[in-house]
A = this chain, B = another copy of it.
Amino acid sequence: MRSLFVGRFQPVHKGHLFTIKQILEKGEDLVIGVGSAQYSHTPDNPLTGGERVMLIKRAILAEGLPIERVDIIPIPDIHIHPLWVAHVKSLTPYFDKAYSHNPIVSSLLSDAGIQVDSTKLLERSRYSASHIRDLIRWMKSDWEDLVPAAVVKMLKAYNIDKRIQRIGETTLKR
């Protein structure tokens, strides 16, 4: 049994890890799809797809979870919902089931004949990547409690925290 779990992981946090652990503990192998993978350097998507793959892997290894049972796959957005499930399937190892808490994702998956399951969630307003990006922007150090320690360390080592602050709410348009 292999299951799919898709997120944007901007950045990966303890809520993601909580979901990942539950799925692995049920004995299901896991394909982690990193959504909007082509984007970076925007307020909502500060990290590149590759950076997110790197952080997720580090978090899994630091937690002592079995990395050989996990695939981490960047999934670029195609912006055309009716093709999205076919797109995800073409880029990922075969999976039997998918996890999602988002009604559109669930509805696209189940319309395509894929069983949708769910996990327990940590407190959703705190363990939210959008909330964590805001805390980083406002220079509030309590974001560090919401993110795995190994990830905090990498975000600082690679100055990704500074990138999040600098980009703030501006956009590329001059």
Q: Count contacts on A: residues with CB < 8 A to the other chain.
A: 59
A126 to B132, CA, bound (A): 36
A79 to B92, CA, bound (A): 19
Partner of A61 from the list B68, B171, B172 (CB cut-off 8 Å) is B68
In the complex, residue of chain B having the shortest beta-carbon distance to the beta carbon of A36: B173
Instruction: Report A87 CB to chain B, min CB distance, Å.
Output: 6
**Which label, helix, strand, loop or mixed, suits the secondary structure of the A interface?**
mixed
- Taking a contact as CB atoms under 8 Å apart, the answer to whether A71 and B91 are in contact is no
Q: Indicate how many identical chains form the complex.
A: 6
A93 to B87, CA, bound (A): 22
- Taking a contact as CB atoms under 8 Å apart, the answer to whether A107 and B38 are in contact is no
A71-111 contact mask (Cβ, 8 Å, vs B): 1 or 0: 11110100011111111011111100000111111011000
Q: List 26 A-B contacts (CB under 8 A).
A: A8-B173, A37-B91, A40-B82, A40-B90, A41-B81, A41-B104, A41-B107, A42-B81, A42-B104, A48-B91, A50-B89, A53-B71, A53-B91, A53-B92, A57-B71, A74-B74, A74-B91, A83-B90, A85-B86, A101-B174, A102-B172, A102-B174, A105-B172, A105-B174, A107-B163, A107-B166
